[in-house]
Amino acid sequence: MCDVIQKFKKMLKIQCQINTAENQIIASSEYGNIHYILPFESLPQLETYDFIVWGFLPIAMRLGIPLHVDGPISIQTLHSAREVSTVWAAWLPDLYQPVMLSAASIIQTPPANQPTQNLSFFSGGIDSTYSTYKAFLENGQDSDCLTVHGMDYKFDDHEKFQALMDQTHSFRSQVFKQSRVVKTDAYALYSKYGCNPKGSHVTHIFSLFSCASIFEHYQQYRISADYRLDQQLFVHPYGSNTASNRLMKNRSGVLITLDDDVTRSQKTAFLSQSNLDLQTLSICVDYRARPKNCGQCSKCMRTKAMFYATSPEIPDIFLDQRFEKKWDQSIPLSSKINRAFLIDILSAVEKSSQQQQFPDYATLKVKVEAASKRAAINPFYGMKIKDVLRTIIKIIFGSNPR
Ligand SMILES: [Zn+2]
């Protein structure tokens, strides 16, 4: 009974300190703070604190407690965030719970001026470069872009983040009306409360939409799909997906998922055949090499394979250009994300009739099929022993919520 009362009393109350001199916002709570810094522009005049809701929602979902903002939020965000938390709680009931939301005031009216502009998330990778370049070729500059610092690049690593900005400068100048950057340390808090499921990532979409919602005058907040829709079902659960993204709204606009009808191999082929200078691309997961591409990590090798699948000419964007037999050695097949990409690559090789030339095509095909069958019958496939034991204990004794 005491536990019930104690839980009832718990609430994630968030206050907002705005420092216009330093273009910094601190969203603070007794569970921890999230900083938002605009390094290259002044803070906009905030009409709502919708961005705080999106930033803290994964914490409230994880802890299973109500979220209260000490300031104004919009009715759109109130309804949308509640809905999104309900969806994630249904998908992952062991990790998340639906969240009740409240605020000092709820703004019921839409913005005075109907928003007409768009904001696209841009990381410099294949997906965001493809979607924004394609949109630019079709519609011209119809969007601003937002790059969030504190996700792929560590919060305090200005040097590497600036190198990314330099590497993508020419592309951004051509494709977007305006480039924006928000720096946040939200990931540290998500990590503290274990907000992501084992082997997958959910919180990135909340961090992105939170930072974007600081800018309250866009009608579309656009994100490129990481996977084609059928692949999204294959790798589920994954934070940025067409189903829950479309439910994410703030006062002025909605999150739109672009190009969920093409795979990454198809995007790579499009970029390869375009006139774009591919030196802009930053795809590597080896932090030491970023924003350059090491040419050896699993993601660099996958991307090389995608280029090679349609043309043996791999663009000169890798520090190590080699692509030869055993190229897939660094890619664990126990990961369903890797299997999704390898199935995509094998399919691209077959479509372009490159089976004979493509290094290790036949052996890879056999390995991927065997791994897929193994994963289908063995729920513990690829898991570390300690995670297997933890899962078995959970099955026997039930979950252990925070
Ligand atoms: Zn790499």
CATH of the domain at 151: 3.40.50
Q: Are residues 122 and 205 in the same domain?
A: yes
Q: Are residues 89 and 161 in the same domain?
A: no
Q: What's the 316 CA to ligand 1 centre distance in angstroms?
A: 13
Q: Which pLDDT score is estimated for 378?
A: 86
Domain boundary among 107, 134, 149: 107
Q: What's the 133 CA to ligand 1 centre distance in angstroms?
A: 23
| Closest to 227 measured CA to CA, from 264, 267, 281 | 264
Q: Are residues 229 and 123 in the same domain?
A: yes
Name residues whose C-beta falls within 8 Å of residue 382's C-beta, 6 or more positions apart in sequence: 332, 333, 334, 335, 375
Q: What's the 298 CA to ligand 1 centre distance in angstroms?
A: 7
Q: Are residues 221 and 300 in the same domain?
A: no
Q: Which pLDDT score is estimated for 371?
A: 96
Q: What's the 165 CA to ligand 1 centre distance in angstroms?
A: 18
Q: Are residues 35 and 101 in the same domain?
A: yes
How far is it, in rounded angstroms, from Cα 85 to Cα 371? 33
Residue 208 belongs to a domain: yes
Residue 144 belongs to a domain: yes
Name residues whose C-beta falls within 8 Å of residue 353's C-beta, 6 or more positions apart in sequence: none
Q: Which pLDDT score is estimated for 114?
A: 85
Q: Which pLDDT score is estimated for 2?
A: 45
Q: What's the 330 CA to ligand 1 centre distance in angstroms?
A: 11
How far is CA 166 from its chain centroid?
22
Residue 32 belongs to a domain: yes
Q: Which pLDDT score is estimated for 278?
A: 98
Residue 384 belongs to a domain: no
Q: What's the 114 CA to ligand 1 centre distance in angstroms?
A: 43
Q: Encode the chain in three state secondary structure.
A: CHHHHHHHHCCEEEEEEEECCCCEEEEECCCCCEEEECCCCCCCCCCCCHHHHHHHHHHHHHHCCCEEEEEEEEHHHHHHHHHHHHHHHHHCCCCCCCCCEEEEEEECCCCCCCCCEEEEECCCCHHHHHHHHHHHHHHCCCCEEEEEECCCCCCCCHHHHHHHHHHHHHHHHHHCCCEEEEEECHHHHHHHCCCCCCCCCCCHHHHHHHHHCCCCCEEEEEEECCCCHHHHHHHCCCCCCHHHHCCCECCCCEEEEECCCCCHHHHHHHHHHCCCCHHHCCCCCCCCCCCCECCCCHHHHHHHHHHHHHCCCCCCCECCCCCCCCCCCCCCCCCHHHHHHHHHHHHHHHHCCCCCCCCCHHHHHHHHHHHHHHHHHCCCCCCCHHHHHHHHHHHHHCCCCC
Q: Are residues 242 and 299 in the same domain?
A: no
Q: Which pLDDT score is estimated for 5?
A: 45
For the chain, how many structural domains are there in total?
3
How far is it, in rounded angstroms, from Cα 12 to Cα 56? 8
Q: What's the 164 CA to ligand 1 centre distance in angstroms?
A: 14
pLDDT digits (tens, 9 = 90+) for 41-84: 999 999 999 999 999 999 999 999 999 999 999 999 999 999 99
Q: What's the 282 CA to ligand 1 centre distance in angstroms?
A: 9
Q: Are residues 238 and 311 in the same domain?
A: no
Residue 273 belongs to a domain: no
Q: Are residues 373 and 313 in the same domain?
A: yes
pLDDT digits (tens, 9 = 90+) for 243-252: 999 999 999 9
Q: What's the 176 CA to ligand 1 centre distance in angstroms?
A: 27
Q: What's the 45 CA to ligand 1 centre distance in angstroms?
A: 40
Residue 97 belongs to a domain: yes
Rg (CA), the chain: 22
Q: What's the 158 CA to ligand 1 centre distance in angstroms?
A: 20
How far is it, in rounded angstroms, from Cα 226 to Cα 257? 9
Q: Which residues of the chain fall below pLDDT 50?
A: 1-6
Q: Are residues 64 and 35 in the same domain?
A: yes
Q: Are residues 123 and 253 in the same domain?
A: yes
By the 8 A CB rule, do 247 and 84 touch? yes
Q: What's the 173 CA to ligand 1 centre distance in angstroms?
A: 26
Q: Are residues 30 and 89 in the same domain?
A: yes
How far is it, in rounded angstroms, from Cα 76 to Cα 99? 15
Q: What's the 175 CA to ligand 1 centre distance in angstroms?
A: 25
* Residue ranges making up the domain that contains 34: 8-107
Q: Are residues 242 and 290 in the same domain?
A: no
Residue 63 belongs to a domain: yes
What is the number of other CB atoms lying within 10 angstroms of the CB of residue 343? 18
Region at 200 (left for phi over 0; alpha for psi -120 to 50; beta for the rest): beta
Domain boundary among 57, 75, 107: 107
How far is it, in rounded angstroms, from Cα 196 to Cα 99? 17
Q: What's the 83 CA to ligand 1 centre distance in angstroms?
A: 38
Name residues whose C-beta falls within 8 Å of residue 86's C-beta, 6 or more positions apart in sequence: 98
Name residues whose C-beta falls within 8 Å of residue 340's C-beta, 6 or more positions apart in sequence: 227, 231, 234, 235
Q: What's the 258 CA to ligand 1 centre distance in angstroms?
A: 25
